[in-house]
Amino acid sequence: MEITRLFDLLPHYATYFPKDDALAGKENGVWVTYSTKQYIDKVNYISYGLMQLGVKKGDRIASISNNRPEWNFLDMALHQLGAIHVSIYPTISESDYEYILNHAEVKMVFVSGWDLLRKIQNIIDRIPALEGQVYTFRNLRGYKHLNEVIELGIANPSPQYLEEIKDSITPDDVVTLIYTSGTTGNPKGAMLTHANILNNVKAVLPIIPIRDNSRCLSYLPLCHVYERMMIYAWQYLGISIYYTENIATIADDLKEIRPDIFTTVPRLLEKFYDRIIAVGHKQKGVKKRIFFWANKIAQDFELEGKSWIYRKKLKIARKLVLSKWKNALGGNFSVIVSGGASIQPRISRIFWAMDVPVLEGYGLTETSPVIAVSNFFPDGLKIGTVGPPLPGIEVKIGEDGEVLTRGHCVMKGYFKSPELTAEAIDEEGWFHTGDIGEFEPEGQLRITGRKKEMFKTAFGKYVVPTIIENKFAEESIIDAIMVVGENQPYAAALIVPEFNDLRNWCNNKGITYTTNEEMIQHQEVLKQFKKVVDRCNKNFGDTEQVKRYKLIGYSWSVDTGELTPTLKLRRKFIMKKHKELIDSLFK
């Protein structure tokens, strides 16, 4: 069965993978499942209903929602009509919502519930194209509901007309506008086609190990191209998709669902490991010594080349300790795919030692998204790299070290922004990623930093902050760090402690405090951070060493503004918010 447009996945699913739990969402602690047939019926009814409401090919329809099956229902229904799905992050500011909805000239918006509805309530009247067409996934008094669209579709089925519309849709038609979260300026709307995304889906399929009745647990935002593309891949392979209710329930959901496959960002894996280590610190005597012996064995893991003595130790460590860590994650993983940011090699080694393979991938919204990803084929794996480029995708390193890519993955362009498109895609079709990288001798790609994040010190020496930050982030006591020092005599940093780990350390040392601010000003805490900074600095030359630093008394997050929805540092925001603190580092 040929699949050339995203909605072609539905008959493929029905033919080869009929099941009772194609999709599942957790509502108020209870799993609600949908069979393959229920999924497809909902999609068709919504398509019929939207046709009655006047939605046509090329119309932009937005969704602002957490992960839930209704997102998939709407997504596929829009694809079948040739409408363009503008899927928007649920964590951005009111001003960004207003910009995106107006820039995309959105005709209709679907919002999951009250928490997100109130974010756009004040701007609805300022979106002319919208004409008040706001629907909710949860039934809220005074607002139209998705079920009304479904009921309208049930009452007015138009299968023949729907087929005619579907026949008119080509693989090169734009299927979605994804506005990049960005770290500065207005978001840019990447135009992705059916062919862009499906070629990416088909390219990653061979690397995914599947079993009968495989399940995945999904928590990354569906509005993000990485999770969205993988969700299409899971449907292609007939993998049941379970959406966690919120990030706070992931640990419990992993144990309950016992998924085979999980897509994530490195940050969550780091948090899992931090929780494991916190448990270890609570152990006593022999148990504690065995726990941290196993941890040391795990940290020394390599994919190949280790001695038989190490392999024997690893076998014992897995039996006594590491298997328990794996079971805490459900115990059933065949693979975890990590993307969105570089994963610390230390974290990769820990999970591989646990017998939980972690594959690291790399890409951007504009590249649909995967450019390169680790795999289980020869030369497909090397810790610290993102693996080789996917088949059909060209990658080269520019003269300045920038990663350039060309092929079916590259977007059609930025919506209404030909000048920005021309800046990003040169005359030969090479997309300029803005990332700095290099190839390993075996062909794997290694990403070393962002071109725009590099800076020169006052002495003309280049510093790549991400390399320094990644090394410092390996320390369990450090939650986040941002290196600064452009046009300054040395590099400095803002450091956010990992407060759970730091509290455990303080408790073990008998250090008393009432607030985070009081804790980070304690002399023993300051001495401990100096030791950590000195230890990390030994990995760098004099120019790259962090000469001065300040501790931050709260955790950075999307809500506090320092992180993007994909958990990257918003450097210019941080520079502005903490200007006085940063200035003090160079006085």
Please report which confidence band the pLDDT of residue 115 belongs to, taking 50, 70 and 90 as the band edges.
confident
Angstrom distance (rounded) from CA 160 to CA 158? 6
* Full residue range of the structural domain in which residue 132 is found: 6-169
- Domain annotation covers residue 190: no
Token reading at 448: 């070393």
Please report which confidence band the pLDDT of residue 460 belongs to, taking 50, 70 and 90 as the band edges.
confident
User: Based on the domain organization, do 484 and 568 belong to the same domain?
Assistant: yes
Number of domains in the chain: 3
- Domain annotation covers residue 175: no
- Domain annotation covers residue 242: no
Q: Which residues pair with 550 in a beta bridge?
A: 494
- Domain annotation covers residue 251: no
Examine the pLDDT at 181 and tell me if it is beyond 70: no
CATH code assigned at 16: 3.40.50.980
The pTM assigned to this predicted structure is: 0.88
The residue from 405, 433, 451 where one domain ends is 451
Alpha-carbon torsion 442, 443, 446, 452, what sign? positive
Neighbouring residues of 51: CB distance < 8 A, sequence distance ≥ 6:
81, 153, 156, 158, 161, 162
What is residue 270's predicted lDDT score, i.e. its pLDDT? Answer: 87
Give the tens place of pLDDT for each residue, 287-336: 999 999 999 999 999 999 899 999 999 999 999 999 999 999 999 999 99
The residue from 401, 426, 451 where one domain ends is 451
Angstrom distance (rounded) from CA 103 to CA 401? 34
Among 227-241, 333-347, 385-399, which stretch is predicted with the lowest mean pLDDT? 333-347
Please report which confidence band the pLDDT of residue 184 belongs to, taking 50, 70 and 90 as the band edges.
low
- Domain annotation covers residue 301: yes
Q: State mean pLDDT over 483-511.
A: 93
User: Smallest Cα–Cα separation from 360: which of 370, 368, 37?
Assistant: 370
Residue 350, CB-side half-sphere exposure with 13 Å CA sphere: 22
Angstrom distance (rounded) from CA 86 to CA 122? 20
User: Based on the domain organization, do 439 and 484 belong to the same domain?
Assistant: no
Q: Which residues pair with 361 in a beta bridge?
A: 373
- Domain annotation covers residue 187: no
- Domain annotation covers residue 419: yes
User: Smallest Cα–Cα separation from 235: which of 2, 1, 11, 4?
Assistant: 11
Examine the pLDDT at 150 and tell me if it is beyond 90: yes
The residue from 400, 428, 451 where one domain ends is 451
User: Based on the domain organization, do 523 and 446 belong to the same domain?
Assistant: no
User: Based on the domain organization, do 404 and 489 belong to the same domain?
Assistant: no
Neighbouring residues of 14: CB distance < 8 A, sequence distance ≥ 6:
36, 37, 40
What is residue 446's predicted lDDT score, i.e. its pLDDT? Answer: 95
Give the tens place of pLDDT for each residue, 50-72: 999 999 999 999 999 999 999 99
User: Based on the domain organization, do 462 and 510 belong to the same domain?
Assistant: yes
User: Based on the domain organization, do 43 and 17 belong to the same domain?
Assistant: yes
User: Based on the domain organization, do 459 and 402 belong to the same domain?
Assistant: no
User: Based on the domain organization, do 323 and 334 belong to the same domain?
Assistant: yes
User: Based on the domain organization, do 20 and 142 belong to the same domain?
Assistant: yes
User: Based on the domain organization, do 325 and 417 belong to the same domain?
Assistant: yes
User: Based on the domain organization, do 440 and 495 belong to the same domain?
Assistant: no
CATH code assigned at 279: 3.40.50.12780
CATH code assigned at 458: 3.30.300.30
- Domain annotation covers residue 237: no
User: Based on the domain organization, do 482 and 433 belong to the same domain?
Assistant: no
